[in-house]
Amino acid sequence: MLGMRMIQYLRLRPRRTLPNLNLFLEFLRNKIKSHNHKSSIYISTPGTRLLTEIIAISGIRSYLLSGLTDRRNEEDFLFQRLEDIESVIDVKHFRKMLPHQFVITKSPCYEIIIPSRRRNALLEIPIGKDYDDPMWETVNPFRIYDMGDFELTFNVYKSRIDFYGKSPSYVIYTLDCFALISKFIAYYRKVSKNRTVDYETVLSEYLHEEIVTKTLLNDMIPIWMRNTFEKQLLGSKDVESINTADGDTTDQDTLGTVFSSAMFDIRKLKQNIINKNIPPFEALSSFIITPDGKDFVSYYKDLYLTTNLPNNKSYIWVECVKNLRWWNFVFTVLSLNSDFPEVISFYKDLLREVRLWIYLKPWNNIPPGYPYKSYIKENIVSLYNDLESK
């Protein structure tokens, strides 16, 4: 797939120091900490009810009450039921999503959940190990993969993001059902080890505290950072805005001031790419997009490689929907100076992949009901024409 070709070129390179951007990210970390208390409120939402339904279909409740703890039994139990579980969110057949699954918006927002799997699930998921094992921290079954343009907010509570201002027109989530249920087994065993617990209460706590709330806040910020960087690189005057959880804009306060300085760093980096002081692929490692310091390359590679799709023709359109905005950011950076040999080689390799997609016409495989046909066709044809002209 085209995505794997992209990943082969995205390698970690030496970072350039961007002090103002680092300071802005430090302020973001503090903002997140100051609003974590909001996340402790739990109510049932369309999104958490869907996740509850998926776990119920697995039959895991009876398995947990049976007392079986052998790793092989656990693996067999899950794999035997995985296709039935994933059918709840299988995008090969249109399934109308309820509004406000995981976001609350004033304008229409299309939400879609895509089933995904890890490439080496039995190696990457610590099945049978205690929940305190640090490997579980790396297992994120539920992800926000992409969102349309939006105003950054820290208003994440009740298992949803509540947008006061500009909200996304779409949100794409991925869900690894195997990881979701495996992690719940470990979590349930931890909290029930030395005390009697109510299954439904434990499940609610797990979905809210360990899965949904963490993802909504942690995954929203790097997407907003990517969108913001791209606008700066394109010279757009439409600068992304920031809101605090109480609805007060921060344009005049410290966060807003530091944000302006951070964007100065990005424009300076842009000029260095144009002036051939920094190769474009090397520059990608200098775009830090998470408050804990992950750059674009490491974040996107981890996101892509842990949310795999089946490798067949019927899923190519899903690959496009998931990744087009991420790929566009890479193309935006490379377009600043495409004379470097690595960029030229990349374009040639990519052209072969895109030419295949033009032949396969993946937009014709989109089930009726999904609003992506023209979006995917236009983007792939445009990409093909751009690569042909280079």
Query: What single-letter amino acid sits at 375?
Result: Y
Residue by residue, pLDDT tens for the chain (390 residues) are: 788 889 999 998 989 999 999 999 998 888 777 765 455 557 788 999 999 999 999 988 888 877 666 677 777 878 888 888 888 888 877 677 778 899 999 899 999 999 999 988 888 999 889 999 999 999 999 999 999 999 888 888 788 999 988 899 999 999 999 999 999 999 999 998 878 889 999 999 999 989 998 899 899 999 999 999 999 999 876 665 676 544 444 444 667 788 889 999 999 999 999 999 999 999 999 999 999 999 999 999 999 999 998 777 778 899 999 999 999 999 999 999 999 999 999 999 999 999 999 999 999 989 888 888 999 999 999 999 999 987
Q: Rounded distance, CA 181 to CA 189, Å?
A: 12
pLDDT of residue 239: 62
**pLDDT score of 298:** 96
Question: Judging by DSSP bridges, how do beta strands 170-175 and 142-147 pair with one another?
Answer: antiparallel
Centre a 10 Å sphere on the Cβ of residue 168 and count the other Cβ atoms it contains.
25
Domain ranges (residues) in the chain? 11-337
Is 0.85 surpassed by the pTM of this model? yes
Sequence-distant contacts of 312-318: CB under 8 A, at least 24 apart: 313/360, 313/362, 313/365, 314/92, 314/365, 315/92, 316/1, 316/357, 316/360, 316/362, 316/365, 317/362, 317/363, 317/365, 317/366, 317/372, 317/376, 318/91, 318/114
Q: What angle do CA 86, 224, 125 make, to 5 degrees?
A: 35
Q: Which class for 87: exposed (0-12), middle (13-18), buried (19 or more C-beta within 10 A)?
A: middle
**CA 190 centroid distance within chain:** 28
Cite the beta strand spans of 91-235 per DSSP E. Answer: 103-104, 110-115, 142-147, 156-157, 160-162, 170-175
Query: Residue 44 contacts by C-beta under 8 Å, 6 or more apart in sequence?
Result: 204
